[in-house]
Amino acid sequence: MIRSKNYAARYPGWYDWKWQYAHRITSAEEIASFLNMSQAEKKDVEDCLSAFRMAITPYYASLIDSADPEDPLRKVCVPRIQETYPCENDMADPLGEVSDSPVPNIVHRYPDRVLFLTTLCCSTYCRYCTRRRVVGEEDRVITEPVLKKAVAYIRSHSEIRDVLISGGDPLVMRTEKLEHIIRELRAIPHVDIIRIGTRVPVVLPMRITDELLSMLRRYQPIWINTHFAHPREITEESARACAAIVDAGFPLGNQTVLLREINDNAETLKELFLKLVHLRVRPYYLYQCDLSRGIGHFRTTVDAGIDIMHALTGNISGYAVPKFVIDAPGGGGKIPINYDYVISRDEQEVVMENYRGKTYKYPQVL
């Protein structure tokens, strides 16, 4: 596999995030030539692109093993014809975000926190994106009137103490634009923590600059959550980006979507989660794949997720084990799904199984 260092020697802009963003692979021609695709494969990509757009940073593309059609990172970002197959149960808005939206770009589902969608752009589009109904439709960053309305909503709801800035990917915005949004939120006294959800450390790690981090430091407390899907995404560059974020004083979490034939086995996820903990990134959620249109081929059974959680729990550090959740279709929110360790429970005792399958009893208070 070609290492990005070689690319860096060839392209002087390689470590400049704006160069990476401007040189994203967005057309069937470019990806076909990059991966030596056949005419038929290229036609499949073209068919997909009529429904959902594609963008891949040169950095992320450089991580793909172009000799392997089954490469997991390729499946993450390069369209496959299955995207165009209609699937039973597909929904345009599987999480019911439209109905939980009191004002545009705000999703208020839980009592004390809101999701704030600030941009529809990402530097690299994940083929399995939940929000593909909107993300990538056009590269749109929140306009001033929409921002004002969203901020006014948060200001008038004193129960909101946690604002999750997401999108799209908020870190593809210019630093000044992002600062403008964060400054508005920080000016609201009841907003306690601000969170940023971003895949930039994985797909555009050069975006994590001192300039960005020193801006964010002025608005603490800020928590950042990133999105690694596979251990091969951990590179020198993405590790550096994570270290810079943590060293700058931001707790860094990670969410991963369980993806068929990409990361749906205990060995791959164990490697990923242990490597993340090594980087001081805390695995936060493992998501069962949603029901968005054209992503049915990424879905695994729920049992596959439960089995993986069972294989990890107890066997590796608790820090390396995320919560496994299903974001319930129709807007029910995230529901934790667990292996059931309780064999029986009555007024006398609780009978339970440990991670090795041995049975133990705990007597109840009588």
Enumerate binding residues for ligand PLP (CB under 6 A): 107, 109-110, 113, 115, 164, 334
Q: Give me the catalytic one of 24, 74, 113, 195.
A: 113
Q: Catalytic residue at 77?
A: no
Selection from ligand SF4, ligand PLP, none that 125 binds (CB < 5 to 8 A by kind) is: ligand SF4
Selection from ligand SF4, ligand PLP, none that 253 binds (CB < 5 to 8 A by kind) is: none
Q: Catalytic residue at 290?
A: yes
Each residue 225-264 as x (binds ligand SF4 by CB under 6 A) or -, in order, gives --x-------------------------------------
Supply φ then ψ for residue 4, to 5 degrees: -65, -20
Q: Give me the catalytic one of 71, 169, 264, 327.
A: 327
Q: Give me the catalytic one of 121, 290, 293, 299.
A: 290
Q: Catalytic residue at 129?
A: yes
170 part of the interface to ligand SF4, by CB under 6 A = no
Angle at which helices 210-217 and 175-186 cross, to 10°: 10
Instruction: Return the number of the residue (133 or 186) whose C-beta is nearest ligand SF4.
Output: 133
Selection from ligand PLP, ligand SF4, none that 94 binds (CB < 5 to 8 A by kind) is: none
Q: Catalytic residue at 327?
A: yes
Each residue 263-302 as x (binds ligand SF4 by CB under 6 A) or -, in order, gives ----------------------------------------
Angle at which helices 210-217 and 236-247 cross, to 10°: 30
Pairing of strands 113-117, 106-110: antiparallel
Nearest approach, Cβ of residue 228 and ligand SF4 (Å): 11
Q: CA dihedral in degrees (85, 81, 19, 119; nearest 10)? A: 0
Q: Give me the catalytic one of 77, 122, 242, 289.
A: 122
Instruction: Return the number of the residue (115 or 154) whose C-beta is nearest ligand PLP.
Output: 115
Question: Which pair of tokens denotes residue 157?
Answer: 């709801």
Whole-number Cα distances in Å, 289 to 124, 163, 304: 19, 24, 12
Measured distance between the N- and C-terminal CA atoms of the chain, rounded to whole angstroms: 64
For residues 159 and 189, is the Cβ–Cβ distance under 8 A? Answer: no
Q: What angle do CA 346, 335, 264 make, to 5 degrees?
A: 105
User: Which residue of 58, 94, 168, 305 would you call a contact of ligand SF4, by CB under 6 A?
Assistant: 168
Instruction: Return the number of the residue (53 or 334) whose C-beta is nearest ligand PLP.
Output: 334
Supply φ then ψ for residue 104, to 5 degrees: -55, 140
Q: How far apart are CA 238 and CA 179, in angstroms?
A: 23
- Which runs of E-coded beta strand occur in the chain? 106-110, 113-117, 162-166, 193-197, 222-226, 252-257, 282-287, 323-328, 333-336, 342-345, 349-353, 359-363
Nearest approach, Cβ of residue 332 and ligand SF4 (Å): 20
Residues at the contact surface with ligand SF4, assessed by CB under 6 A: 122, 125-126, 129, 131, 135, 167-169, 199, 227
Catalytic residue list: 109-110, 113, 122, 126, 129, 131, 290, 327, 334
